[in-house]
Amino acid sequence: MPAPDMTAPDPTLPDAAAADAETWRVAPGDDLRWFDGAEEAVLFHSGSGETHLLDGDAAEILQSLEARPGNAADLVARLVPAALAPERAALCGRIEQCLREFRRLGLIEPVPR
Amino acid sequence: MSAGIPPAGPDRARAPVRLADLSEAELSRRLRGPGLALPAGPFTVRLTSPLEEIAAGLGLLYGGHPLADGGADDPEGYADFHLRVAPAGGPRRWVRPQVGFFLDGRNPFNLLPAHQAFPMYEWGLNWCIVNLAHQFLIIHAAVVARDGRALLLPGPPGSGKSTLCAALIHRGWRLLSDELALISPADGRLSPLVRPVNLKNESIAIMRAFAPDAVFNRETPDTAKGVVTHMRPPAASIDAAAETARPAWIVFPTFRAGARTALEPVPGPRAFMRLADESFNYGLHGGRGFAAMSRLLRGCMVRDMAFGDLESALAALDGLAREAPAEAAS
């Protein structure tokens, strides 16, 4: 699994501000299969045929989107419900970065408005 | 080698015809003519070759193998791989004789110096299996078994897996393969591929000292892998070559001179990715490969093993095998 170059601009991807507002989902028809460990997980993505090693946080975010679509704020609310307002902004930023990487790998897509 | 094929009769009805039952003349005739039907685990090879080195290597190392066609000598009999190892033509043969490996009449490799004919056959057969036998998930690993449970030793060249494998099969473990783990995606079991064990460089002297009664082919110098030879598989492993085994332990060996032998657990997802890297065809299997790999890891203890000497490594593996094998990687 080649690591994506996060520094390269990609016009097809939303910027950080837009990502917060965008609602994401796993592409309908794509099957995600998991091999979970204590701190990491392996993911098989039927859409690309690729296998990825994810850290625990990334796996949790993607599994949440697999369960139902959401944006970064939704994901913070679902995954860290006890987070205080100042923490939420930082968490949103980290989740947005993760969402951009998922998008780059073809694991998620924006929900049509 | 005996003078000929033993006559048919009541006692022969149950006994397989083994390569050692052929006289040297008969072995040579089959190799030069219709071909010799050799078993290679779940595959059948029909091999032709006019080379004395091939006949001698087969006679020495495959003598205990039953002939795949029961000795029928049927040139039309089924074979998975039709192989030929033969001298290259052209004027160069007078200056520097070379040999070629042919699959269905095509030569997928560069020619090699003539003295490398036997290793070329073994390596070529590995290539055929790895590139064509996609009914299996294939991992680059030595495999041995005890009481029906298998230990996989995956690793790149130089990791020590072949040396460990060669030693283990002289300490009560059954040989499945020194090189290729053949995993059925349907049931997760490992198919034996009992063939001579490939040893190279320092491992050769180590194994000659470790197993003085073992039979080795003559050494082949100046190959791409250095000096190589092959060791005859134990008769008990050949006789059990139809018995699949359940994977129970996966150990990633790393030989480091002077290292103290130590086993360390490997988290399941990390082990998954390392096995996928060591697999020749994981990507081809898609979701079926993912399921097979997941099942493999859920049924196995997984460890890293650094080792600096053979005896302590064998003791560590024996100790691991005494632990409950049902512990899943996580």
Domain assignment of residue B329, yes or no: no
Supply the mean pLDDT for chain B.
Answer: 92
How far apart CA B22 and CA B259 sit, in angstroms, is: 47
* Contact between chains at B287 and A33 (C-beta distance less than 8 A): yes
Reported confidence tier of residue B325, pLDDT bands at 50, 70, 90:
low
Chain B residues with CB inside 8 Å of A31's CB? 287
Chain A residues with CB inside 8 Å of B295's CB? none
**Portion of chain B with pLDDT greater than 70, in percent:** 92
Owning domain of residue A74: 16-108
pLDDT in tens, B191-205: 999 999 999 999 999
Residues B147 and B55 in one domain: no
Q: Are B283 and A49 in contact (CB under 8 A)?
A: yes
Domain assignment of residue A86, yes or no: yes
Domain assignment of residue A89, yes or no: yes
Question: Token digits for B239?
Answer: 């006789």
* Contact between chains at A35 and B294 (C-beta distance less than 8 A): yes
- Domain tally for chain B? 2
Residues B80 and B184 in one domain: no
In this predicted structure, what is the pLDDT of residue B94?
67
Distance from CA of A29 to the nearest CA of B (A): 14
Domain assignment of residue B202, yes or no: yes
Chain B residues with CB inside 8 Å of A39's CB? 267
Q: Are B114 and B127 in contact (CB under 8 A)?
A: no
Query: pTM for the full model?
Result: 0.90
Residues B41 and B190 in one domain: no
Task: For residue B316, report the phi and psi dihedrals to the nearest 5 degrees.
Answer: -65, -40
Strand-strand pairing, B98-103 and B149-154? unpaired
Distance from CA of A36 to the nearest CA of B (A): 7
Domain assignment of residue B5, yes or no: no
Interface probe, candidates A42, A43, A52, A53, chain B, greatest B C-beta count within 10 A = A42
pLDDT in tens, B101-132: 999 999 999 999 999 999 999 999 999 999 99
Owning domain of residue B28: 10-132
Residues B70 and B210 in one domain: no
Nearest CA in chain A to B295: A35
| Strand order from edge to edge, sheet including B36-40 | B36-40, B43-48, B81-87, B98-103, B112-113
Strand-strand pairing, B226-231 and B137-146? unpaired
* Mean pLDDT across B43-61: 97
Q: Is A36 on the interface with B (CB under 8 A)?
A: yes
Domain assignment of residue B127, yes or no: yes
In this predicted structure, what is the pLDDT of residue B324?
61
Query: Nearest by CB to B290, which of A36, A37, A44?
Result: A44
* Mean pLDDT across A32-57: 97
Q: Is A31 on the interface with B (CB under 8 A)?
A: yes
Residues B92 and B239 in one domain: no
* Contact between chains at A35 and B276 (C-beta distance less than 8 A): no
Residues B189 and B298 in one domain: yes
Domain assignment of residue B172, yes or no: yes
Q: Is the dihedral of CA B89, B92, B98, B100 positive or negative?
A: negative
Interface probe, candidates A39, A45, A51, A52, chain B, greatest B C-beta count within 10 A = A51
Residues B161 and B233 in one domain: yes
Chain A residues with CB inside 8 Å of B287's CB? 31, 33, 44, 46
Residues B127 and B218 in one domain: no
In this predicted structure, what is the pLDDT of residue A18?
52
Q: Which of B89, B111, B132 is the last residue of a domain?
A: B132
Residues B208 and B231 in one domain: yes
Distance from CA of A37 to the nearest CA of B (A): 5
Domain assignment of residue A3, yes or no: no
Q: What is the CATH number of the domain that holds A32?
A: 3.90.930
Residues B122 and B160 in one domain: no
* Contact between chains at B273 and A42 (C-beta distance less than 8 A): yes
Chain B residues with CB inside 8 Å of A49's CB? 283, 286
CB within 8 A of B197, min separation 6: which ones? Answer: B162, B165, B166, B169, B175, B178, B230, B231, B233
In this predicted structure, what is the pLDDT of residue B14?
60
| Count of beta carbons in the 10 Å neighbourhood of residue B251 | 26
Query: A10 pLDDT exceeds 50?
Result: no
Residues B242 and B110 in one domain: no
Query: B165 pLDDT exceeds 90?
Result: yes
Reported confidence tier of residue B72, pLDDT bands at 50, 70, 90:
confident
Chain B residues with CB inside 8 Å of A35's CB? 268-269, 272, 290, 293-294, 297
Q: Are B51 and B45 in contact (CB under 8 A)?
A: no
Domain assignment of residue B4, yes or no: no
Q: Which of B132, B161, B183 is the last residue of a domain?
A: B132
Distance from CA of B284 to the nearest CA of A (A): 9
Domain assignment of residue B43, yes or no: yes
Which of these ranges, A73-82, B180-189, B212-221, B316-325, has the smallest mean pLDDT?
Answer: B316-325
Q: Which of B81, B104, B132 is the last residue of a domain?
A: B132
Which of these ranges, A14-23, B237-246, B296-305, has the smallest mean pLDDT?
Answer: A14-23
Which of these ranges, A60-69, B198-207, B319-328, has the smallest mean pLDDT?
Answer: B319-328
Residues B21 and B108 in one domain: yes
* Contact between chains at B276 and A46 (C-beta distance less than 8 A): no
Q: What is the DSSP letter of B158?
A: T
Q: Is A32 on the interface with B (CB under 8 A)?
A: no
In this predicted structure, what is the pLDDT of residue B95?
73
- Domain tally for chain A? 1
CB within 8 A of B114, min separation 6: which ones? Answer: B51, B53, B87, B97, B98, B99
* Contact between chains at B290 and A35 (C-beta distance less than 8 A): yes
Q: Is A33 on the interface with B (CB under 8 A)?
A: yes
